[in-house]
């Protein structure tokens, strides 16, 4: 791995965080999680964000995904300022452009695997074929099972299928392997890498596991809401090569 020496100017940003501040106010207490935080996420890249618990990783992902808005600065999607966007516009942004994968899957328990995926394609602008996506994640045989009838790894594959089936420009993953054992985690990571390489989706992956980050094109190291290091992997390793 080499440390990035100069800002890359020849790639366009799908999302730009421009001097972003995020302060949470709880009663009398103000928690400043991000201050003057700037980062470009490039079209088509696989970006990992690593850092200890509480360093602001999820806060950043939520801002990128339009689940949250900054207290200062701007978040731009392909040049459009999301900071001043209405709730209605943000909802459309999430619906049309963003897929989320969370650590604890967030599946609807009363819907089958297939139905969970359908909830995403029914609202998407240009959805993928549900059966093709289920096949891609290896769940064709389990499509009619409910989440409670699936293992953790299978549930995460449903969650990935649901996010991918929207054909999102941005796939945002918050500790997607955090609840999985090693082998299952590697399989989930493989799926994400395939989605990036084959479908061209930009991926932002949060992990506190720096071994996993070696599969990404670039790695942002976060410490107390600041970028402590920004590393480019000229040769990202395959998920199957990850060891920890
Ligand atoms: P990470 O994902 O790296 O563990 P987070 O982005 O979730 O970190 O949180 C960073 C800090 O911001 C933590 O100190 C957390 O307690 C605080 N924080 C996050 N969300 C909220 C919120 N909605 N209200 C108050 N504090 C929050
Ligand atoms: Mg988090």
Q: Where are the domains of the chain?
A: 13-239
For residues 67 and 60, the answer to whether their CB atoms sit within 8 Å is no
Lookup result for tokens 């003057």:
36
| pTM for the model | 0.92
pLDDT score recorded for residue 11: 83
Rounded Cα–Cα distance for residues 78 and 225 (Å): 24
Ligand 1 lined by 52 (C-beta under 6 Å): no
Which numbered atom of ligand 1 lies nearest the CA of 31?
A: 26
The pair phi, psi for residue 111, each rounded to 5°, is -115, 145
Q: Among 144, 119, 16, which Cα is nearest to 70's?
A: 16
Structure tokens at 43: 């079209």
Rounded Cα–Cα distance for residues 61 and 101 (Å): 11
Q: Among 29, 23, 7, 25, which Cα is nearest to 73's?
A: 23
Structure tokens at 187: 């399989």
pLDDT score recorded for residue 17: 98
Q: Among 217, 191, 165, 162, which Cα is nearest to 2's?
A: 217
pLDDT score recorded for residue 47: 98
Query: How far apart are the two ends of the chain, measured CA to CA in Å?
Result: 17
Distance (Å) from CA 172 to ligand 2 centroid: 12
- Mutation test of ligand 1: which of 20, 33, 67, 104 has the most ligand atoms closer than 8 Å to its C-beta? 33
Rounded Cα–Cα distance for residues 161 and 128 (Å): 10
Which numbered atom of ligand 1 lies nearest the CA of 26?
A: 25
Distance (Å) from CA 32 to ligand 1 centroid: 9
Rounded Cα–Cα distance for residues 173 and 60 (Å): 12
Ligand 1 lined by 57 (C-beta under 6 Å): yes
Does domain 13-239 fall under CATH 3.40.50.1100? My reply is no
Distant-in-sequence, close-in-space partners of 15: CB < 8 Å, separation ≥ 6: 40, 41, 64, 75, 76, 77, 170, 202
Digit-coded pLDDT (tens) for 57-101: 999 999 999 999 999 999 999 999 999 899 999 999 999 999 999
pLDDT score recorded for residue 5: 45
Angle at 115 between CA 112 and CA 119, to 5 degrees: 140
Ligand 1 lined by 32 (C-beta under 6 Å): no
pLDDT score recorded for residue 243: 87
Handedness of CA 80, 86, 87, 88 (dihedral sign): negative
For residues 204 and 47, the answer to whether their CB atoms sit within 8 Å is yes
Alpha carbons within 13 A on the beta-carbon side of 3: 5
**How confident is the chain (244 residues) per 10-residue block, as mean pLDDT?**
47 96 95 97 97 96 96 97 94 95 94 96 89 91 97 94 93 93 90 91 94 95 96 95 87
Burial of 110 (0-12, 13-18, 19+ CB in 10 A): exposed
Q: Among 78, 50, 54, which Cα is nearest to 64's?
A: 78
pLDDT score recorded for residue 10: 57
């Amino acid at each position: 791995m080499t440390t990035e020496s100069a800002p890359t100017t020849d790639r366009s940003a799908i999302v730009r965080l421009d001097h972003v501040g995020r302060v949470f106010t709880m009663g009398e207490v103000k928690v400043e999680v991000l201050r003057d935080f700037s980062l470009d996420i490039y079209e088509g890249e696989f970006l990992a964000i690593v850092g200890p618990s509480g360093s602001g990783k999820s806060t950043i992902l939520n801002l990128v995904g339009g689940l949250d808005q900054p207290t200062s600065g701007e978040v731009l999607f392909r040049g459009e300022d999301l900071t001043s966007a209405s709730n209605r516009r943000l909802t459309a942004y999430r619906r049309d452009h963003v897929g989320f994968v969370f650590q604890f899957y967030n599946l609807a328990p009363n819907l089958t695997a297939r139905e969970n995926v359908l909830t995403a394609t029914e609202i998407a602008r240009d959805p993928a074929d549900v059966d093709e996506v289920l096949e891609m994640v290896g769940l064709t045989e389990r499509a009619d099972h409910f989440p409670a009838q699936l293992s953790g790894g299978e549930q995460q594959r449903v969650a990935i299928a649901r996010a991918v089936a929207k054909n999102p420009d941005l796939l945002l993953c918050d500790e997607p392997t955090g609840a999985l054992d090693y082998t299952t985690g590697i399989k989930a990571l493989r799926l994400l890498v395939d989605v990036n390489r084959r479908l061209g989706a930009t991926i932002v992956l949060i992990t506190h596991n720096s071994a996993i980050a070696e599969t990404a094109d670039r790695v942002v190291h976060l410490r107390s809401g600041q970028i402590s290091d920004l590393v480019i992997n000229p040769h990202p390793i395959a998920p199957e090569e990850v060891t920890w």
